[in-house]
């Protein structure tokens, strides 16, 4: 093999931000049906916001090894998963390939990805993945371009206001015997390297204030209409004795050494934030109630012709009915 060919084989896949290198570790943490955080918190929150309907085409952006696929397939949807990591996608295909479609691709360039470009998905979902992607505007523009004119986007992420990687944590105030959550930074977007895993270069988590998501979605025509905030698992269900040797970017809760108190933030301070945004087809101004109404409301000379014209008195162009 020539030196050049060797270099190109080693080159990271387009859009990959280090996840391909840690695929084995990540799959060990998530497992076949999802980590306990996936199963108890993130996946139920996503399904609740998404409300998938049988037959819908749903795109899972940053699908990883396809942990969400069996849950969505169980709802009768047509599932497509995209991820930048070839290794994670190959695990996904092996596990869930029957009935699901998986593609290696960059979430910022879905409009150029064979098998995805030109599709009109009813919904796109990001399960704990949007914070691993950057820049957000390119990702949202690309996702919106493969969604139907009426569609929804659901994002489930670690809560940007309370769980900023490396810029937030638990503290304890002995005078009040109170555990509290501290946030060192919030308003400034930042790209934060996560802990190195299995000797590999760290992946990065991209912090943005919540407004960055809401305004970013609005820019591509989607309006947030539902939001959910979820606390951490109750203490007994949290992984404490067998913490993984490396830290995933789903924070595992209150660190050892912080004394528990009844008002402990685990149930008051959210771990996850879920947002649902919808894009609705533009209202049909002409003939709003079908042919019956249009027959009864024949335009007479000088009479405003459309609903918009009736409301504003301004001509919106020649009538089409």
Contacts 24+ apart (CB under 8 A), 109-116: 109/14, 109/15, 109/142, 110/59, 110/61, 110/82, 110/142, 110/143, 110/145, 110/146, 111/142, 111/145, 111/146, 113/82, 115/80, 116/59, 116/80, 116/82, 116/146
Q: How far is the CB of 244 from ligand SAM (least distance, A)?
A: 14
Contact (Cβ atoms closer than 8 angstroms) between residue 153 and residue 125: yes
By CB under 6 A, which span of 60-68, 237-245, 258-266, 286-294 interacts with ligand SAM?
A: 60-68
Nearer to ligand SAM, 116 or 217 (CB): 116
Q: Judged by CB under 6 A, which of 30, 57, 151, 271 binds ligand SAM?
A: 30
CA separation, residue 271 to residues 21, 297, 318 (Å): 26, 55, 54
Q: What is the nearest approach in angstroms of ligand SAM to the Cβ of residue 223?
A: 24
Whichever of 125 and 254 has its CB closer to ligand SAM, that residue is: 125
Task: Report the helix count and the strand count for the chain, using DSSP H and E.
Answer: 10, 11
Please select the residue that binds ligand SAM; options are 63, 91, 233, 277, rule is CB under 6 A: 63
Report how far residue 267's alpha carbon sits from residue 159's, in angstroms, rounded to the nearest whole number: 14
Using CB under 6 A as the binding rule, whether residue 113 contacts ligand SAM is answered as: no
User: Angle at CA 4, nearest 5°, toward 3 and 10?
Assistant: 90
Q: How many residues does the chain have?
A: 321
List, in order, residues 6 or more apart from 225 with CB less than 8 Å away. 276, 277, 278
Find the shortest distance in angstroms from Cβ 321 to ligand SAM.
45
Number of residues that bind ligand SAM (CB under 6 A): 21
> Which among 12-20, 217-225, 267-275, 294-302 is the span making contact with ligand SAM, rule CB under 6 A?
12-20
Position with the least CB separation from ligand SAM: 64
- Tell me which of 50, 58, 69, 84 binds ligand SAM, using CB under 6 A: 84
Where does this chain touch ligand SAM (CB under 6 A) — which range of 121-129, 145-153, 224-232, 261-269?
Answer: 121-129
| 123-162 residues near ligand SAM, rule: CB under 6 A | 127-129, 132-133
Residues engaged in binding ligand SAM (CB under 6 A) = 15-17, 19, 30, 62-64, 67, 83-85, 88, 106-108, 127-129, 132-133
């Amino acid at each position: 093999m020539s030196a050049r060919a060797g270099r190109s084989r080693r080159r990271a896949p387009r859009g990959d931000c280090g996840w391909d290198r840690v695929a084995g570790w990540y799959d060990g943490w998530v497992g076949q049906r999802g980590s306990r955080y996936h199963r108890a918190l993130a996946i139920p929150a996503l399904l609740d916001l998404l409300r998938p309907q049988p037959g819908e085409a749903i795109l899972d952006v940053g699908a990883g090894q396809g942990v969400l696929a069996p849950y969505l397939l169980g709802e009768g949807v047509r599932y497509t998963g995209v991820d930048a990591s070839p290794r994670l996608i190959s695990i996904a295909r092996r596990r869930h390939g029957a009935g699901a479609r998986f593609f290696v691709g960059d979430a910022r360039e879905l409009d150029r990805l064979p098998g995805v470009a030109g599709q009109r998905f009813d919904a796109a979902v990001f399960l704990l993945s949007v914070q691993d992607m950057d820049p957000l505007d390119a990702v949202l523009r690309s996702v919106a371009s493969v969604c139907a004119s009426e569609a929804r986007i659901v994002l489930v992420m670690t809560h940007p206001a309370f769980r900023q990687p490396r810029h937030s944590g638990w503290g304890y105030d002995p005078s009040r015997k109170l555990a509290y959550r501290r946030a060192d930074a919030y308003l400034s977007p930042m790209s934060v390297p996560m802990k190195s895993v299995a000797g590999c270069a760290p992946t990065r988590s991209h912090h943005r204030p919540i407004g960055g998501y809401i305004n970013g979605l609005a820019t591509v025509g989607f309006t947030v209409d539902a939001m959910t905030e979820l606390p951490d698992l109750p203490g007994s269900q949290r992984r404490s004795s067998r913490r993984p040797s490396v830290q995933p970017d789903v924070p595992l809760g209150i660190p050892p050494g912080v004394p528990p108190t009844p008002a402990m933030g685990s149930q008051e301070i959210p771990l996850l934030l879920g947002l649902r945004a919808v894009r609705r087809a533009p209202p049909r101004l002409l003939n709003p109630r079908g042919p019956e109404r249009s027959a009864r409301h024949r335009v007479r000379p000088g009479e405003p012709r459309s609903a918009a014209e009736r409301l504003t008195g301004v001509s919106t162009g020649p009538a089409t009915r």
